[in-house]
Amino acid sequence: MHLNALKILYCKIHQSDSFIQETDDTLVITQLIYQKLWNYPMAIDEGFALYIKRRTKEIEDALRYHARNCDSPCIICSDLEKIGV
């Protein structure tokens, strides 16, 4: 699983302006995401593991597209700034 995608998902789930937890431990970040997923009916219905896998895949795809195509500040640039990339 791509660490940056996981961190961006953390920010989105926690509605945070920054990646507060100073860790690169994917297990720790995943556990922090799990704590908030009880607020997301879609995640409950889908299952947390599948939800995280699907969402991080979507974010990874967006990051790949972004890396090739972004030529001005955009929402993904903002997301990357939040996680300190």
Q: How far apart are CA 6 and CA 51, in angstroms?
A: 12
Encoding tokens for residue 68? 């090739």
Yes or no: say if 70 and 77 are a contact pair by the CB < 8 Å rule: yes
Residue ranges that bind Zn ion, judged by CB under 5 A: 70, 74, 76-77
Minimum distance between the CB of residue 68 and Zn ion, rounded to whole angstroms? 11
- With respect to Zn ion, which residue has the nearer C-beta, 1 or 74? 74
- With respect to Zn ion, which residue has the nearer C-beta, 24 or 81? 81
- With respect to Zn ion, which residue has the nearer C-beta, 15 or 72? 72
